[in-house]
Chains A and B, each alone.
Chain A
């Protein structure tokens, strides 16, 4: 029986020998040697078999470069299949064996003369892929011939080859005049040659942003538009993408191009459709809105966009991301198409989430009833992210369409009744916004919300609930009890909740001063004395001082009327939106990020913008700049997820300028005793008639003020915030030298160099801004992209504008770490957008991770020991620091200056072992063992951390500070 089975197996193996899969199975030793023999065999078939085996090994990642000469020897063959295989091998390994690759040149040159156009094209195509300098020299002559070949197949291949050569040696391409030949090919009679020439030129032009390579003028446009009707689907995409870069001279030209592009909207290829949409969206900007054609065009855009949603899910996703942009720019196009965005039960999750996004944008009074019914349906689905988003969407509808608010609220209450934990939390977050939008309307539901207090475990929901309790403290009988219950675990809460709790209790106190003084005292001392978070401390002190100096003003400030929140959410900033519209169909439109955010080098990172419409182009731009300069957007913006709930004044995201109403009592004493001076009486006076117990209760000084505070630096309240003066800075902090982040060449004359430093618990971005342009610069603003540790500017950048030419200025920008978080590569990478009156510039820089080391990073010895043991060994990494001539004490001191604390020290065999700890602002601890041996300039650092990815950065900080 067994034998029979074996027999069968063998037979089957034998049977499959006729196919190629066997090449994947050779893994024996001595394989290379065997292959070598086979490659040199006389028999053609055997040779070919051997080359196939080599390619199979190459595919799975085995190194078969040792066979280079043997494979190249097989190149001279009449067998086209064999030739192609050898070429494939060459493309992979030529770079590692440049000298031997030369052996192949002759065959290439010969093949370029072959009577068969397929072989000529194959040779020139392959030659371009061999990135060896010596070969490229030989490539020029054959390429020149092929560009003028009689056969269009060879010409279209040669056109792409110019782009390949340009990628290897740009200078050579220019010197040899290939660019002109390529331009001539735009007038070629064959549409595919034109398309490839356009693709090659567009790519080359991208790396020369200022050259007028494409030279788009009405004549070339005409040629391209003609070729558009005739070439393959891919060629149409190349041409349309190129057309999108053209700026028509006037509205008439714009219209005529649009007319010739619209037929593409019926193409079966979605990419052709999207690229056509891009051209139309861009050129539409130039059409007068009262033109009939403008309306016709708008109507023509909707059906193809909807059709894209019946494509495969991956394309649907791309289409939806783009529709999201289009809806923001021109909501009128799809306003009647709500139904097509209804989520299907079996849609992939990425399609579902995107559809939901668009549904919220399209929601209006006309369709709100259906939309709500849909959203309620979605809220019972399985996927947690999707359900959350659906709940959030219901809240957005309430805010957007006033008529629906009541229905939305009752829907949300129904959902809260389900008691599904994440649904409840999400609902509470959105109800908070609804309260903001419609004050004094739905507060009756507060009781229901309070029932769910215990189930809230997410910071955002807790913060929202605390906000509600604080805001409506006067209507909630046991508001003080509720808030007190949160206070118990104050230090375990996230910053967001802590800040909110602080504000809420102050509100409560201002509303019901009699019963809550103890509570407010407690929270103020928790915030100011027991917390490491500078934001929390600052806010605590400000409240404290407000309450103690002028409680009436405090009431006015803290309980001030809040600005309305906007109806739209998560809108993309207008300038970015314009740029993204110019990138419809591309990755940028999928990521909703400018290309510079994810593309390295200068490929395609030029900024594109929409052309202004005929009349308003000039007049609009200055407005746009000034509006953009005022940081983000209009003042009334809903915080996007992750933003701090309410800043000091509880005004979400308003520019910090509104902190103006702070009491500016210049001569106020900083002494601890004075903090809660008699001012309180005036607040309580009216209510209480100045009970003596009051004064006593408040008079008790906080046990210990932090050094920065009690230090009599100067009398002014403002000194606390004047961080430049370096309040109570310990040793000279380590400050890496400034480097140039944004060279003037890349930023139209604006040069920024800078560094990061941590002063007394505050991270600062120190910058030197130089104006190397000829004109005055104004309107500076800065923004960070999301980054690994949530670094964000703590306020707008303070540049006393204008900055005249050749002037420079030192600016230090305090940062906080409460911004949105996204893991970056490398970890300490920071992408910055910097704006002035000229443009927005993007650069990225790396901050030393040491700026994130908190002052309280000293671990208890026992804790250290336990933690060290607890962290698995695979999280340990070792680094060498070479040429360091410090003794262990000096090293320890130096490290302490960047908040790396030495906890213990021991000496083993003449080696000093330092045990150190540090804590990052986001609460990650890193433990280190530093080995210092007298006389040996090489230190060894072993790092252990639960998040091992930070080790590399931490090590860099060690190295930087020790070698400094």
Chain B
């Protein structure tokens, strides 16, 4: 299991060091600094073995988090734990920075004591932790016996992510379908790979212990219903169902029920959390198409023309559009002309950055640039990195639609109709690249 946990600043100074196992000595702290943080070359692996000690590390801004072990631990678990730890810290004190860590070191030690015992991860749900690990450190004395046992039963219980007795005047929930659409396209416009990875993020402000059921236009479910009888939903709306390649759920979702009936039922945590993640590859709406044209004019000049076409309903507006056109390292000057938005050559990033604030569907726009090159005797040709794009659109490129989210709370007297529900779809670019 995890033998120790260290947090370093960018210089390699240790900010937090917690050792859980006897086989990890103080020298492990230095070994990581010398061999990884101060190593000259780029990190070649997130797992490093130094003198029979294994180090797992992740970086958040310029902070290094390293877990150390001498045993054959579950490596996936260690990384999941490190991410979780970052989440917990962020939930407690915001951004993970040297200053914040130093300011909260007592709290961090307290958390580390709680969420990792002898190197075994324990309950690390922030909702539960916040009930008894507080920054004031006074709660310990004020709790009544009932409160104490409620805390412990929540921390260890089946529903560790929600406490009992939550009350809201207004029962409300917000559903965000956040998708990132990823594309790799060949210069000729052939889709080499495309997929959508989506998340359903929920903010719930519901009283009691509500039982929820979430439904979407999942092909398998719709087909099943279609067989069973005429399905109103699918028939009326005419919306197509979508094929979901795979999905994963927050631990509140009953997985065995999903496995057998493909229904998503759960008791939600209070506040914001990620209900599910999913991935689709079929029938993706690619919001933009990039058509590049690069021409080398002699050895010292490049002509670049890039056309972007928006491919969605004309009534919708895409926002925050940014096209990044890489330029060779030996670029000496760039002249740009674009029809829409602003374009600028950024020498430090070796790219022309073209920004458009808004663009409606079914439109197109173009940029052309002349790139002057310094003559070099470098034999190696320019690698031509792909043109990448960023944008945000107000629909789900996968075609996913939320069909319902039903709330049942039998003990308290509010019904599904009393809950105010908000649904929002946002599609963003993931890695959206076109080779040129």
Cβ-defined partner of A274 (8 Å) among B1, B76, B388: B76
Q: Which residue from chain A places its CB closest to the CB of B139 in the assembled complex?
A: A80
Most buried by B among A151, A275, A587: A587
Residues in chain B near residue A263, CB distance under 8 A:
255-256, 258-259
Known A-B contacts A118-B151, A307-B246, A598-B52; the reply to A604 vs B72 at CB < 8 A is yes
Q: How far is the CB of A626 from chain B (nearest CB, A)?
A: 30
User: How far apart sit A82 and B148, CA to CA, in the bound complex (Å)?
Assistant: 19
User: How far apart sit A171 and B132, CA to CA, in the bound complex (Å)?
Assistant: 36
* Interface pair B157/A190, CB less than 8 Å apart: yes
Q: Which residue from chain B places its CB closest to the CB of A161 in the assembled complex?
A: B118
Residues in chain A near residue B74, CB distance under 8 A:
237, 241, 271, 274-275, 585-586
User: How far apart sit A605 and B71, CA to CA, in the bound complex (Å)?
Assistant: 9
* Interface pair A61/B72, CB less than 8 Å apart: no
* Interface pair B113/A128, CB less than 8 Å apart: no
Verify if B404 is at the interface (C-beta below 8 Å from A).
no
Verify if B225 is at the interface (C-beta below 8 Å from A).
no
* Interface pair A315/B137, CB less than 8 Å apart: no
Interface of B is mostly: mixed
Cβ-defined partner of B184 (8 Å) among A82, A156, A273, A344: A344
Count B interface residues, CB 8 Å. 108
* Interface pair A586/B156, CB less than 8 Å apart: no
* Interface pair A591/B49, CB less than 8 Å apart: yes
Verify if A23 is at the interface (C-beta below 8 Å from B).
yes
Looking at the complex, which of B40-48, B311-319, B359-367, B408-416 is the stretch in contact with chain A?
B40-48
Q: How far is the CB of A107 from chain B (nearest CB, A)?
A: 15
Verify if A380 is at the interface (C-beta below 8 Å from B).
yes
* Interface pair B279/A310, CB less than 8 Å apart: yes
User: How far apart sit A312 and B78, CA to CA, in the bound complex (Å)?
Assistant: 13
Residues in chain B near residue A230, CB distance under 8 A:
158
Known A-B contacts A118-B132, A192-B123, A234-B121; the reply to A600 vs B70 at CB < 8 A is yes
* Interface pair B109/A267, CB less than 8 Å apart: no
Known A-B contacts A348-B43, A380-B383; the reply to A266 vs B124 at CB < 8 A is no
User: How far apart sit A270 and B277, CA to CA, in the bound complex (Å)?
Assistant: 12
Task: Identify which of residues 185-233 in chain A touch chain B, using a CB-to-CB cut-off of 8 Å.
Answer: 190-193, 196, 199, 203, 229-233
User: How far apart sit A716 and B139, CA to CA, in the bound complex (Å)?
Assistant: 91
Residues in chain B near residue A87, CB distance under 8 A:
113
Q: How far is the CB of B102 from chain A (nearest CB, A)?
A: 4
Verify if B22 is at the interface (C-beta below 8 Å from A).
yes
* Interface pair B248/A315, CB less than 8 Å apart: no
Q: How far is the CB of A304 from chain B (nearest CB, A)?
A: 6
User: How far apart sit A5 and B102, CA to CA, in the bound complex (Å)?
Assistant: 25
Q: How far is the CB of B269 from chain A (nearest CB, A)?
A: 13
Q: Which residue from chain A places its CB closest to the CB of B244 in the assembled complex?
A: A303
User: How far apart sit A310 and B258, CA to CA, in the bound complex (Å)?
Assistant: 21
Verify if B235 is at the interface (C-beta below 8 Å from A).
no
Q: How far is the CB of A431 from chain B (nearest CB, A)?
A: 21
User: How far apart sit A151 and B153, CA to CA, in the bound complex (Å)?
Assistant: 8
* Interface pair B45/A81, CB less than 8 Å apart: no
Residues in chain A near residue B208, CB distance under 8 A:
none
Q: Which residue from chain A places its CB closest to the CB of B7 in the assembled complex?
A: A59
Cβ-defined partner of A85 (8 Å) among B83, B106, B120, B258: B106
Residues in chain B near residue A591, CB distance under 8 A:
47, 49
Known A-B contacts A229-B255, A266-B255; the reply to A315 vs B76 at CB < 8 A is yes
Task: Identify which of residues 62-94 in chain B touch chain A, using a CB-to-CB cut-off of 8 Å.
Answer: 69-77, 79-83
* Interface pair B433/A229, CB less than 8 Å apart: no
* Interface pair B42/A349, CB less than 8 Å apart: yes
5 A-B contact pairs sorted by A residue (CB < 8 Å): A80-B137, A154-B152, A339-B192, A344-B184, A418-B381
Cβ-defined partner of B383 (8 Å) among A117, A118, A381: A381
Known A-B contacts A307-B246, A345-B433, A380-B383; the reply to A315 vs B80 at CB < 8 A is yes
Please give the residue numbers on chain B whose beta carbons come within 8 Å of chain A beta carbons, in ascending order: 1, 13-17, 19-23, 26, 29, 42-47, 49, 51-52, 54, 56-58, 69-77, 79-83, 99, 102-106, 109-110, 113, 117-118, 120-125, 132, 137-141, 143, 145, 148-149, 151-153, 155-158, 160, 184, 186, 192-193, 195, 197, 245-251, 254-256, 258-259, 274, 276-277, 279, 379-381, 383-386, 388, 431, 433, 435
* Interface pair A345/B386, CB less than 8 Å apart: yes
* Interface pair A266/B145, CB less than 8 Å apart: no
Verify if A313 is at the interface (C-beta below 8 Å from B).
yes
* Interface pair B193/A116, CB less than 8 Å apart: no
Residues in chain A near residue B132, CB distance under 8 A:
118
* Interface pair A234/B246, CB less than 8 Å apart: no
Q: Which residue from chain A places its CB closest to the CB of B83 in the assembled complex?
A: A312
* Interface pair B155/A153, CB less than 8 Å apart: yes
Verify if A6 is at the interface (C-beta below 8 Å from B).
no
Verify if A9 is at the interface (C-beta below 8 Å from B).
no
User: How far apart sit A591 and B184, CA to CA, in the bound complex (Å)?
Assistant: 31
Cβ-defined partner of B193 (8 Å) among A193, A203, A342, A585: A342
As a 0/1 sequence over residues 40 to 66 of chain A, the CB contacts with chain B under 8 angstroms (1 = contact) are 000000000000100110011100000
Residues in chain A near residue B140, CB distance under 8 A:
78-81, 116, 118-119
* Interface pair B143/A116, CB less than 8 Å apart: yes
Cβ-defined partner of B26 (8 Å) among A56, A61, A131, A154: A61
Q: How far is the CB of B174 from chain A (nearest CB, A)?
A: 20
Known: A115-B145, A268-B274. 20 other contacts (CB 8 A): A88-B109, A199-B120, A231-B158, A232-B123, A232-B124, A233-B251, A238-B120, A263-B255, A268-B249, A270-B79, A314-B46, A315-B76, A350-B44, A350-B45, A420-B380, A583-B72, A585-B75, A590-B75, A600-B23, A825-B51
